[in-house]
C-alpha cells in the first residue's frame, strides 16, 4: 500500500511539473501577441532556457539521487521550480520570461530521475511498466490540464495570475513531500557502505553508464527512438497557434476541447501502454519497445493526414485523440526499458541521461527549429506555414519507428548479456 501511495503522490508532482512546463505553450495565443514575440522567439522560450539547464542539471541530479535522501531532494526541486513559476507571471518581455525558465529547468530536473529510482525500489521488475506508465500519466494529464487552465481561466483570471496560483500550489506540495521516507535500495545491504558524493564516485557512475551504452544496442536504439519522437513533440508547442490561426478555432474554446482530449486520451494511453507493454515483454521474446513500434507504424498515416482535412470532421478529431493516446503510451515502456538495461546502482543516472537526450536534442530541434521553420515559411508566403512545419517535423520523427523495432528485437538478448557483464 505504501508503494502505491508513493506512486500516486509522485504522479501528482509529475502532473504539476508538466502543467508548469507546458503553460507557456498552452497560453500561446495570449502570451505571443501581448509580448510581441516572433515564432522563433516563442519556440525559444518554450524550450531553450528551460531545456539546457533541465538537461544538464538533470544528469548531475540523477547521479545525486543515487547517493542522497531522495524525498528531500525532490522537495527541494519542487519548491525551486514553483518559486520561479510564480515569477514567470511578472514577465514583461522576452528576457524577463526566459530568465525564470532557467531555474524552473534546474528544479524540474530533479523530479523524474529521483522518482523513477524510488519507484524501482518500491515495485518488482515485472510491474515497472505499469508503475512507470502510471507515473507518466502526469505528462498527458499535465499537458491537458494546462490547456484547460488556459481555456477556462485565460480570459477571466489572466495568464499572469495563473502562473502565480500554480507557484503557490507547488510550494505547498513541496512541503508535503518532506513527509515521505526514503526507500531501501535494491541489492544493497544495510551494512553496505552508502555511496558518498565525491568526484571518484561520480566518475564511477558515469563510466558504468557509458559501459552499458556501449554494450547494449537495445539501450542505444531506445534512446535514439525517443529523441526522434521528441522532435515532433517539440514542434507541437505550436499546436494552439495552428488551431487558431489556420483552422479558425476560438482560442479559449479550442484550449478547453483539446485539454479534455489530452486528459482522457493521454490517461488511456498511459494505462494501456504500461499494461500492454508489460504483457508483451512477458509473453513474447521481445522487449517493450516492440509494442511502440507497432503502435507508431499503425498510427503514422493518420498522424500526417489529419493535418489536411477539414477542421471539426471525425478524422480531424481522431487525429488529435490518437496523438495524445500515443504520447501517453510512450513513457511507461521506454523509461522502464532504459532502467532495466543498466545496473541497479545507476538507474537514476540513466533516466537523467535519457531525459537529457530527449530534451536537449529532440525537443530543442522540434521547438526552436519548428519556430524558425514557421517564420521562414511565413516570409516565403506559404499558405499554411504551421501546417507545413508540423508535417515536415512529423516526417522527420518517422526515424523513431525502425529504432523501436531494433530495441524491442535486441532487448532480451542484451538483458542477459548485461547481467553477465555487470554481475
Give a three-class secondary structure readout of the chain. Answer: CHHHHHHHHHHHHHHHHHHHHHHHHHCHHHHHHHHCCCHHHHHHHHHHHHHHHHHHHHHHHHHHHCCCCHHHHHHHHHHHHHHHHHHHCCCCCHHHHHHHHHHHHHHHCCHHHHHHHHHHCCCCHHHHHHHHHHHCCHHHHHHHHHHHHHHHHCCCCCHHHHHHHHHHHHHHHHHHHCCCCCCCCCCCCCCCCCCCCCHHHHHHHHHHHHHHHHHCHHHHHHHHHHHHHHHHHHHHHHHHHHHHHCCCCCHHHHHHHHHHHHHHHHHHHHHHHHHHHHHHHHHCCCCCHHHHHHHHHHHHHHHHHCCCCCCCCHHHHHHHHHHHHHHHHHHHHHHHHHHHCCCHHHHHHHHHHHHHHHHHHHHHHHHHHHHHHHHHHHHCCCCCHHHHHHHHHHHHHHHHHHHHHHHHHHHHHHHHHHHHHHC
Whose grid coordinates read 508489460?
278
Instruction: Say whether pLDDT at 52 is over 90.
Output: no
Q: What is the mean pLDDT of residues 153-177?
A: 93
Mean pLDDT of 392-401: 94
Range from 151-160, 273-282, 404-413 carrying the lowest mean pLDDT: 273-282
The x, y and z cell numbers of residue 207, run together, are 563510466
CB 144 within 8 A of CB 293: no
Distance CA 65, CA 138 (A): 21
pTM for the full predicted model: 0.79
**What is the domain class of 2-179+201-422 according to CATH?**
mainly alpha
Residue 190: its pLDDT value, please? 43
Q: What is the pLDDT of residue 202?
A: 65
> Which pLDDT does position 397 carry in this prediction?
93
Q: How many CB atoms lie within 10 A of CB 302?
A: 14
pLDDT band at 200 (very low <50, low <70, confident <90, very high): low
Contact 139, 327 (CB under 8 A): yes
* pLDDT at residue 201 in the model: 60
When comparing pLDDT for 89 and 195, which is higher?
Answer: 89
Distance separating alpha carbons of residues 102 and 153, to the nearest angstrom: 26
Sign of dihedral through CA atoms 359, 365, 367, 368?
positive
From 175-189, 327-341, 405-419, the region with the lowest mean pLDDT: 175-189
pLDDT at position 292, please? 94
More confident residue, 139 or 76: 76
**pLDDT surpassing 50 at residue 94:** yes
pLDDT band at 161 (very low <50, low <70, confident <90, very high): very high
d(CA 122, CA 125): 10
Percentage of the chain beyond pLDDT 70 is 95
Q: Please state, in angstroms and as integers, the Cα–Cα distance from residue 283 to each residue in 63, 126, 224, 279, 381, following that order.
A: 34, 12, 25, 6, 53
Amino acid at each position: 500500500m505504501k508503494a502505491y501511495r508513493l506512486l500516486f503522490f509522485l504522479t501528482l508532482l509529475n502532473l504539476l511539473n508538466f502543467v508548469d512546463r507546458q503553460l507557456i505553450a498552452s497560453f500561446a495565443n495570449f502570451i505571443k501577441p501581448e509580448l510581441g514575440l516572433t515564432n522563433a522567439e516563442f519556440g525559444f522560450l518554450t524550450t531553450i532556457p528551460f531545456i539546457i539547464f533541465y538537461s544538464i542539471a538533470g544528469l548531475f541530479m540523477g547521479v545525486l539521487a543515487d547517493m542522497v535522501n531522495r524525498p528531500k531532494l525532490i522537495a527541494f526541486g519542487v519548491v525551486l521550480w514553483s518559486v520561479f513559476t510564480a515569477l514567470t507571471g511578472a514577465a514583461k518581455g522576452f528576457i524577463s520570461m526566459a530568465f525564470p525558465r532557467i531555474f524552473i529547468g534546474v528544479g524540474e530536473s530533479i523530479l523524474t530521475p529521483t522518482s523513477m529510482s524510488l519507484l524501482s525500489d518500491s515495485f518488482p521488475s515485472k510491474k515497472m511498466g505499469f508503475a512507470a506508465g502510471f507515473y507518466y500519466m502526469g505528462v498527458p494529464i499535465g499537458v491537458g490540464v494546462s490547456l484547460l487552465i488556459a481555456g477556462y481561466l485565460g480570459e477571466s483570471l489572466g495568464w499572469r495570475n495563473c502562473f502565480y496560483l500554480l507557484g503557490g500550489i507547488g510550494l505547498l506540495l513541496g512541503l508535503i513531500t518532506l513527509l515521505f521516507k526514503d526507500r531501501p535500495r535494491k541489492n544493497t545491504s544495510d551494512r553496505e557502505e552508502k555511496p558518498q558524493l565525491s568526484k571518484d564516485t561520480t566518475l564511477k557512475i558515469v563510466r558504468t553508464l557509458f559501459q552499458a551504452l556501449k554494450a547494449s544496442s537495445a539501450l542505444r536504439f531506445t534512446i535514439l527512438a525517443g529523441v526522434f519522437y521528441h522532435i515532433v513533440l517539440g514542434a507541437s508547442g505550436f499546436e494552439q497557434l495552428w488551431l487558431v490561426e489556420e483552422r479558425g478555432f476560438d482560442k479559449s474554446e479550442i484550449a478547453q476541447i483539446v485539454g479534455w482530449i489530452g486528459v482522457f486520451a493521454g490517461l488511456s494511453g498511459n494505462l494501456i501502454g504500461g499494461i500492454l507493454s508489460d504483457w508483451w515483454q512477458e509473453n513474447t521474446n521481445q522487449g517493450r519497445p516492440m509494442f511502440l513500434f507497432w503502435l507508431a507504424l499503425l498510427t503514422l498515416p493518420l498522424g500526417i493526414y489529419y493535418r489536411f482535412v477539414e477542421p471539426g470532421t471525425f478524422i480531424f478529431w481522431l487525429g488529435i485523440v490518437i496523438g495524445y493516446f500515443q504520447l501517453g503510451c510512450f513513457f511507461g515502456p521506454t523509461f522502464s526499458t532504459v532502467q532495466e538495461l543498466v545496473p541497479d546502482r545507476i538507474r537514476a543516472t540513466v533516466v537523467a541521461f535519457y531525459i537529457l537526450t530527449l530534451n536537449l536534442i529532440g525537443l530543442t530541434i522540434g521547438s526552436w527549429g519548428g519556430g524558425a521553420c514557421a517564420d521562414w515559411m511565413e516570409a516565403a508566403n506559404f499558405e499554411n506555414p504551421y501546417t507545413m512545419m508540423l508535417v515536415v517535423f512529423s516526417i522527420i520523427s518517422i526515424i523513431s519507428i525502425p529504432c523501436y523495432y531494433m530495441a524491442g528485437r535486441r532487448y532480451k538478448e542484451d538483458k542477459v548479456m548485461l547481467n553477465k557483464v555487470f554481475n
